A and B are shown apart, each in its own frame.
Chain A
Amino acid sequence: MKPKRKRLFIVLIGLLFVSAAVGFSLFALDQELDVFRSPSEIAEKGFPSGKRFRVGGLVEDGSVSSEGIVTTFRVTDGAHALTITYDKILPDLFREGQGIIALGALNAGGTFEAQEVLAKHDENYMPPEVADALKKSGHFKPEGGDS
């Protein structure tokens, strides 16, 4: 009986370990998850400032201005737009009319301070979230952007 009980013991320890890891992972997931909001959702429902999330849409025509390394621009889903500032070099594919996703948080003044701006490798590619947001606001053009 003894080896069998020992094996049971090992299996139990293993299970305990795995469930602890899973619990911890789920907790971490909850903490580190970044939700997506469209500019319209921000305009309508707001979002707590300082909490990290992602926002996406098309870069509004004529909205891009830069001061030194800091760039300010607006993303729009057609219905509403949100002002974003970014203090790093923008990705190669960043340009007006392009679909982008930014990760960051709103500051007290309601401006989105981006930590990261993503434009996809493929210039015809539209991030699905952005496509969805545009569809919801009724401004979706299948070809994406102004290409």
Chain B
Amino acid sequence: MAPELGQYALVLALVVAAVQAIVPQVGAYRRDAAWMGVAPAAARAQFLLVLFAFGCLMVSFISSDFSVVNVFENSHSLKPLIYKISGVWGNHEGSLLLWILILTLFGAAVAQFGQNLPPTLQARVLSVQAMIGVGFLSFILFTSNPFARLDPAPFEGNGLNPLLQDPALALHPPFLYLGYVGLSVAFSFAVAALIEGRVDPAWARWVRPWTLAAWCCLTAGIALGSYWAYYELGWGGWWFWDPVENASFMPWLAATALLHSSIVVEKRDALKSWTVLLAILAFSLSLLGTFIVRSGVLNSVHAFASDPTRGVFILAFLVFVVGGSLTLYAIRAPSLKGGGLFRPVSREGTLVLNNLLLSTACFTVLLGTLYPLFLDAVASEKVSVGPPYFNSVFVPLMAPLIAALAIGPMLAWKRGDLAGVMGRLKFVAALAFLTGLGMAWYAWNIMPLAVLGMALVVWLGLGVLREWAERVRLFRWDIVESWRRARGLPRASYGMSMAHMGVALMVLGITASETWQEEKQVIMRPGDVQTVSDFELTFVGAEKVPGPNYSATAGTFVVTRNGQPVTILQPESRIFSNPPMETTEAAIRSTLAGDLYTVVGEGDGLGGYAVRLYYKPLVIWIWLGALAMMIGGMISLSDRRHRIGAPARKQAGESGTHRDPGALAAAGAGD
């Protein structure tokens, strides 16, 4: 029963979305309040219908209803409950339903918290949002029905890919989608603004929190995926420049650029048409990412079933969305008059530099990701573009970005004093230079890039602190005054510092773990000892251990340092029966100083086992850095000035205690 109800709800949602796409748009054109008023109600209805459908699918999964094809193919009655639930989105159809659920959630949120938006703008935003909804609801209903039935119903399901039976991966898709789809709001605002023909600081004040929220989720989603790859794939790598990873990274780069350019629109009323373009491109890249992942056109470590009709549908939709919005942009953008002028050396100037570097980086990733596809089409030559390409183009783009990151926030708006800022940063610069010098002596023969990396870490990390000290006048006046100022600083400012510090921490983790990693791949017999970093690992042996739905070869290492016991590590190599496959369970001793990472492979039949042992110094800081970036985003989001419902005209009440009740919940994520 549940599957049919779910499908019925989806059909109804499609109809509601079609109404919501057309009626408010016409209403906004004719300034008809009644017609525009359809939008919020329809957006809420759409959300409830999709939520209901999603609930129906979840019921089918939890009750292991194998008469539903999707449940049969992706679930198993013996699976733990949490993976029955995460199995809902661990497959193509279900993850698409989650995509739509989040899309409609954002639509409903705009309806809820956007009550003080200009009515025509809100109607148009919701109408554009519904157009995207129509596209995706038709996609799911016509090509990927999650509720398709199977007759006769099998007794047992195929089970979920064991690699996906993991807490981080259960959370990875929802966060990623919150990010992807969150960018649809920025997109809808951009298109609506183009239709309105008006982009002003009030508009940017609206777009920024949505982008910020989407960016936080995207950051979390990508970091979770990367951490999962690190501990689950057994190779100790955390980023592979795989097409599917790039698919999520491109929208992130674009969203990061958008986040910064919308600041310029908000504060200085400049860079308007560029910001609108970025909003369109960021969401287009999300769609492109969906296309890459869902169509299977690109070879990837992620095994998703490829289906040409699905690929064609998304491609057509992509062409429609990108083509349509860019055409609209071409027609309307010239009428968006820029306001504030600024010198190249100014806060705006560094934000422009940020945008230039981020969008170029995004473009190079796009190039590397799509080039194999292009070459296959024109020359039918199968090629792959691997990490060497991405590393060689990415580092030269990121290095100046990070260098500028310490300077930008200290420059004044409109006209900055670079010499003055450099003067204030001279101790930071000296320390960074000394670090570089030290590294040149210490690490040049291991990896010359480490010199640059560590110098940048010191430069940015201390630069962020210096900027904060500057703002609170630390050590210049008495400490009480500094404390008062520190408390008075807007949260957005703390958010920025935190996020920028996150970048420094991440660079620290990447540089240190890449430079001073130790790796051993050897055959070990019981009693053998290997030394990695300053740890001695004694291989005790390996034995067969049965698990709930797999059987495992579990190896045991006793780890000591200078003869003192440290820990016992027990990596496993698991063989699953439903579906049949093998996975590696690395055993990791994770500390802030570094990770000891062990993997046991197959036995050689002579009592020896192939093992992989790594020591990765400071590697955890890669994800702690990402966490800091995300927390920074959330702190910034909780700033009163960013409250999603904050009325545009409240500039005067900036310092007052005015709070918009409707806005509190929206900012709840940050509080």
Q: Which residues of A contact B (CB under 8 A)?
A: 3, 10, 14, 17-18, 21-22, 24-26, 28-29, 31-36, 54, 66, 68-69, 87-90, 92-93, 103, 118, 120-123, 125, 127-129, 132
Tell me, in angstroms, the Cα distance from A118 to B161 when the chains sit together.
18
Residues of A within 8 A of B161 (CB): 121-122
- With A121-B581, A123-B581 already in contact, the answer to whether A36 and B389 are too (CB < 8 A) is no
Instruction: Please choose the segment from B183-191, B214-222, B363-371 that sits at the chain A interface, where 4 or more of its residues have CB less than 8 A away.
Output: B363-371
Chain B's nearest CB lies how many Å from the CB of A141?
A: 19
- With A121-B163, A121-B301 already in contact, the answer to whether A3 and B341 are too (CB < 8 A) is yes
User: Is there a chain A Cβ closer than 8 Å to B116's Cβ?
Assistant: no
Contact: A32 with B392, CB < 8 Å?
yes
Tell me, in angstroms, the Cα distance from A35 to B521 when the chains sit together.
28
From the candidates B360, B389, B581, name the one contacting A17 in the complex (CB within 8 A).
B360
Contact: A34 with B383, CB < 8 Å?
yes
Contact: A132 with B382, CB < 8 Å?
yes
Contact: B383 with A36, CB < 8 Å?
yes
Residues of A within 8 A of B303 (CB): 120-122, 125
Residues of A within 8 A of B301 (CB): 118, 120-121
Chain B's nearest CB lies how many Å from the CB of A2?
A: 10
- A121-B161, A121-B303, A123-B580 given; name 8 further pairs at CB < 8 Å: A14-B352, A18-B360, A21-B360, A28-B389, A28-B393, A36-B381, A36-B382, A69-B610
- With A18-B360, A25-B368, A92-B573 already in contact, the answer to whether A33 and B385 are too (CB < 8 A) is yes
Which residues in chain B, 136-170, are within 8 Å of chain A measured between CB atoms? 161, 163
User: Is there a chain A Cβ closer than 8 Å to B560's Cβ?
Assistant: no
Residues of B within 8 A of A3 (CB): 341
Closest 5 CB pairs of A and B: A122-B303, A32-B389, A36-B382, A92-B582, A32-B388
Contact: B573 with A34, CB < 8 Å?
no
Tell me, in angstroms, the Cα distance from A14 to B383 when the chains sit together.
31
Interface size class of B (residues with CB under 8 A): 35 or more
Residues of B within 8 A of A34 (CB): 383-386
User: Is there a chain A Cβ closer than 8 Å to B33's Cβ?
Assistant: no
Which A residue's beta carbon lies closest to that of B368? A29
Residues of A within 8 A of B389 (CB): 28-29, 31-33
Q: Which residues of B contact A (CB under 8 A)?
A: 161, 163, 234, 299, 301-303, 341, 344, 352, 356, 360, 363-364, 367-368, 371, 381-386, 388-389, 392-393, 396-397, 521-523, 573, 579-584, 599, 601, 604, 610-612
Contact: B523 with A25, CB < 8 Å?
no
Contact: B382 with A129, CB < 8 Å?
yes
Tell me, in angstroms, the Cα distance from A17 to B364 when the chains sit together.
13
Contact: B612 with A89, CB < 8 Å?
yes
A-B contact count (CB 8 A): 109
Chain B's nearest CB lies how many Å from the CB of A37?
A: 9
**Centre residue among A25, A103, A123 by max chain B CB count within 10 A:** A25
Contact: B356 with A14, CB < 8 Å?
yes
Cβ contacts A to B, 18 pairs, < 8 Å = A14-B352, A21-B363, A25-B364, A32-B385, A32-B389, A32-B392, A33-B384, A34-B384, A35-B383, A88-B521, A88-B612, A89-B610, A89-B612, A92-B234, A121-B163, A122-B303, A123-B581, A128-B299
Residues of A within 8 A of B580 (CB): 123
Tell me, in angstroms, the Cα distance from A88 to B611 when the chains sit together.
9
Tell me, in angstroms, the Cα distance from A90 to B573 when the chains sit together.
13
Contact: B599 with A89, CB < 8 Å?
yes
Chain A's nearest CB lies how many Å from the CB of B98?
A: 21
Tell me, in angstroms, the Cα distance from A127 to B612 when the chains sit together.
26
From the candidates B364, B581, B604, name the one contacting A21 in the complex (CB within 8 A).
B364
Residues of B within 8 A of A31 (CB): 388-389, 392
**Secondary structure at chain A's binding surface: helix, strand, loop or mixed?**
mixed
From the candidates A17, A54, A123, name the one contacting B384 in the complex (CB within 8 A).
A54
Residues of A within 8 A of B360 (CB): 17-18, 21-22
Residues of B within 8 A of A10 (CB): 344, 352
Tell me, in angstroms, the Cα distance from A50 to B234 when the chains sit together.
28
Chain A's nearest CB lies how many Å from the CB of B527?
A: 17
From the candidates A22, A36, A54, A88, name the one contacting B363 in the complex (CB within 8 A).
A22
Residues of B within 8 A of A35 (CB): 381-383
Contact: B581 with A93, CB < 8 Å?
yes
Tell me, in angstroms, the Cα distance from A90 to B582 when the chains sit together.
12
Chain A's nearest CB lies how many Å from the CB of B136?
A: 26
Chain B's nearest CB lies how many Å from the CB of A99?
A: 12
- With A93-B581, A120-B303, A121-B163 already in contact, the answer to whether A36 and B367 are too (CB < 8 A) is no
Residues of B within 8 A of A14 (CB): 352, 356
Contact: B604 with A66, CB < 8 Å?
yes
Contact: B299 with A24, CB < 8 Å?
no
Residues of A within 8 A of B381 (CB): 35-36
Residues of B within 8 A of A28 (CB): 389, 392-393
Residues of A within 8 A of B604 (CB): 66
Residues of A within 8 A of B299 (CB): 127-129
Residues of A within 8 A of B385 (CB): 29, 32-34
Which A residue's beta carbon lies closest to that of B344? A10
Tell me, in angstroms, the Cα distance from A14 to B358 when the chains sit together.
13
Tell me, in angstroms, the Cα distance from A125 to B303 when the chains sit together.
8
Tell me, in angstroms, the Cα distance from A52 to B461 when the chains sit together.
39
Residues of B within 8 A of A93 (CB): 581-582
Residues of B within 8 A of A33 (CB): 371, 383-385, 389
Chain B's nearest CB lies how many Å from the CB of A123?
A: 5
From the candidates B341, B384, B396, B523, name the one contacting A36 in the complex (CB within 8 A).
B384
Chain B's nearest CB lies how many Å from the CB of A116?
A: 9
Tell me, in angstroms, the Cα distance from A22 to B611 when the chains sit together.
42
Which A residue's beta carbon lies closest to that of B386? A34
Residues of B within 8 A of A24 (CB): 393, 396
- With A28-B392, A29-B367, A121-B301 already in contact, the answer to whether A68 and B523 are too (CB < 8 A) is yes
Which B residue's beta carbon lies closest to that of A21? B360
**Centre residue among B303, B393, B397, B522 by max chain A CB count within 10 A:** B393
Tell me, in angstroms, the Cα distance from A36 to B299 when the chains sit together.
13
Chain B's nearest CB lies how many Å from the CB of A119?
A: 10
Tell me, in angstroms, the Cα distance from A24 to B386 when the chains sit together.
16
Residues of B within 8 A of A32 (CB): 385-386, 388-389, 392
